[in-house]
Amino acid sequence: MEFARDAFALSAPQGDGATLRTHLQRLYQNTRQADTRLLLQCPQECEPLWRVFNSLGRAGGSGLTPITQQEVQAWQANHSTRLRSWEVDTLFALDQLAATVAAQHRQANPDQ
């Protein structure tokens, strides 16, 4: 889950509305020194489930909109795939982690 926490943090908007990832990429372009957070890669074993999560997750107007069981079922039907129970549990855990990281960011940056 460490990869996911860091990935969610990189997606956090900064004071100017650009994400932390965008700022770090700009810094790299200007200095050629890469922040280690830009080098994060999803473990190969987790990539399929990470793709499923990203296809389900989305930002709402005031924060993250939780993924519902009905959306997971619809995704499975649309993709003719049956996720294992641990995979569904992991999707919900990732969703909760994304909400936690977003809430921490909002708390630390109330003006954004």
Compute the distance between CA of residue 43 and CA of residue 50 in angstroms, rounded to an integer: 9
Compute the distance between CA of residue 10 and CA of residue 12 in angstroms, rounded to an integer: 6
Global pTM value: 0.75
Question: DSSP strand E in the chain: where?
Answer: 59-60, 63-64
Residue 40: predicted pLDDT: 83
Per-residue pLDDT tens over the stretch 11-47: 888 888 888 889 999 999 999 998 988 888 888 999 9
Per-residue pLDDT tens over the stretch 49-65: 999 998 887 644 345 68
